[in-house]
Structure 1
Amino acid sequence: MSNTQLIIEERAADIGNFMVGRLLPFRKKRMVGPFIFIDHMGPVALGTDENIDIDMHPHIGLSTLTFLFEGNVFHRDSLGTAREVKPGEVNWMTAGRGVVHTERTPDYLRGREKGLHGLQIWVALPKEWEQCDPSFAHIGADEIPVWEEEGIHFKLIAGEVAGKRSPVPVYSPLYFMEIKSGERKTVRLGADLFGESALYILEGTVISEGHSYGPKQILVAKDSSLCDFEIEAGTTVYIFGGAPFPEERFIEWNFVATSRDLIEQAKENWRQGRFAGVPNETAKVPLPEPKLKK
């Protein structure tokens, strides 16, 4: 990762009934291309009496991408969608002007020991799409492009790069890809990347310009065209980025927008119960109270 601009360490965050590692946003780097929020979930072992239960909560102005390495999550939303996401699959939900969803352990796994490990990603929508109708897409593991070059395994989870295109219906030029190798290899991607680019190390070691980097770090490149690096055997990394937006993005709670007014309206709509609900769900996540300044 030549000319590394910034190294971001994974930080612990609490999203309810278990801890996750928060990667974006970061104080010195709010976005990478259109990517505005990334959580690393797990790995966590859940006992027979432990389940994922994230009650109804709203979103605006973004698409969510759920990608699991281990475990299963059942998604329900205000569009009437009811879909399980399994390892290697993608759930892609576009909030637009507003959507509500829940995430839970599937019924057939309750009362059993299970694990959870994956990434939860928010991709901000272009200004012209931020008030679009909400939608949902599920992409099977066998639909995601995979290929191998010189012993390096590639998987293009979303976007377009190196002449490959994922079927995930993105709204702006971006890429989110997995790179793995069982041997020490040099990865050369600079000619294929564009916009802003960052690399997240899930496992193993990345070597760049004589420096070694390990798991739970994000390396943000100054120039995506210089994105060449070495990986040790047994390394898995994720490269993500794309064209940045010309406008600033604001993020508060689960809302992303080009104006604070849109966020304030969304907050009031949630307080007043104006968002459509999720069929057969009643429990809601309350709007967080503002933190008092000391």
Structure 2
Amino acid sequence: MSNIKLIIEERPANIGNFMVGRLLPFREKRMVGPFSFIDHMGPTAMKDHQNLDVPPHPHIGLSTLTFLFEGEITHKDSLGSDVVIKPGQVNWMTSGKGIVHSERTPEYLRHTDKMLHGLQIWVALPKDLEQMEPAFFHADETDIPKWQQDGVDIKLIAGEAFGRKSPVPVYSPLYFLELKSSKRQAINIGHDLFGESALYILEGAIESEGYVYEPKQILIANDAKLCAFEMHENTTIYIFGGEPFPEERFIYWNFVASDRELIEKAKTKWLEQTFEPVPGETDFVPLPEQHPHLK
């Protein structure tokens, strides 16, 4: 029997003035371990008059992870953080009881042609930390553990795996890995992982049990032992997962919580504009009137 339980195709979604490929949540699979949301941004070529502008918007109950392959984004938040995210770096913002942030093309790129390509990920917080104080962490590419194993280049972007630990301050047992192969290569790393596991193909292809899988798909495993497969040449994949939470998570717009009441309070707070603001920013994304409950 195949260990691949579900294949999720990327679906187009609009985040303001920018199209993304949505991977999670999916109607048949809301979360993988603590991972509750994944968007694939781009690759998008932007002309000198086109820029990413996501005005201030709030989050609760989660950490956001931004990881770029190409391009740059200025992140500003209500803690006063003001940083440009560049390829290979990790932006890790923990909302806890509430944070507000904006994401924009940096000023020095706003009048030039540019590319934007990357992943935006939400990781739900465990129930006892959902109301923690917000926090922000930025890691340079050189801070991220990387090594070669059996001819494959591996990066541990967040969490723990292979006896290594990323400096990104996660709040529950999880892992987020990048694997790159330049040649056709058999991989067997399932014994190093735990909990629920999924695999996202960015480029190239993998082969498992006679089937070939190509980009813009997430493969969900029955368990973390998914990871015996063959990578084709010039393939890049991301493996993510971890221990699932015992409680259900509800998602409404940018809010994630184990209790719907926390979401209702956050909606009221945003409508009343009583979240801490992003310094220097006055516009904001309004609360959607009829935003669907995803759960």
TM-score (norm 1): 0.98
8 Å CA contact 2:187, 2:231 repeated in 1: yes
* C-alpha distance in structure 2 between counterparts of 1:131 and 1:99, whole Å: 11
* C-alpha distance in structure 1 between counterparts of 2:110 and 2:217, whole Å: 33
8 Å CA contact 2:252, 2:291 repeated in 1: no
Q: Letter of the aligned partner of 1:124 in structure 2? A: A
Structure 1 pair 127–84 and aligned structure 2 pair: CA distance change class (3 A): same
Equivalent residue, structure 1, for 2:86: 86
8 Å CA contact 1:39, 1:119 repeated in 2: yes
1:253-272, Cα deviation, whole Å (9 max, x unpaired): 00000011000110000001
Q: Letter of the aligned partner of 2:49 in structure 1? A: D
Equivalent residue, structure 1, for 2:241: 241
1:183-225, Cα deviation, whole Å (9 max, x unpaired): 0001111110100000000011110000000000000000212
Equivalent residue, structure 1, for 2:97: 97
Structure 1 pair 91–244 and aligned structure 2 pair: CA distance change class (3 A): same
Structure 1 pair 93–291 and aligned structure 2 pair: CA distance change class (3 A): closer
Equivalent residue, structure 2, for 1:190: 190
8 Å CA contact 1:2, 1:227 repeated in 2: no
* C-alpha distance in structure 1 between counterparts of 2:267 and 2:248, whole Å: 19
8 Å CA contact 1:2, 1:228 repeated in 2: no
Aligned positions, number: 292
Q: Which moved more, 1:28-37 or 1:183-192?
A: 183-192
Displacement, 1:157?
0.3
TM-score (norm 2): 0.98
Equivalent residue, structure 1, for 2:262: 262
Q: CA RMSD in A?
A: 1.1
What SS class does the counterpart of residue 128 from structure 1 fall into? helix
Equivalent residue, structure 2, for 1:122: 122
Aligned sequence identity (%): 65
8 Å CA contact 1:61, 1:130 repeated in 2: yes
What SS class does the counterpart of residue 191 from structure 1 fall into? helix
8 Å CA contact 1:75, 1:83 repeated in 2: yes
8 Å CA contact 1:161, 1:193 repeated in 2: yes
* C-alpha distance in structure 2 between counterparts of 1:290 and 1:109, whole Å: 35
1:221-272, Cα deviation, whole Å (9 max, x unpaired): 0021242110100000000000000000000100000011000110000001
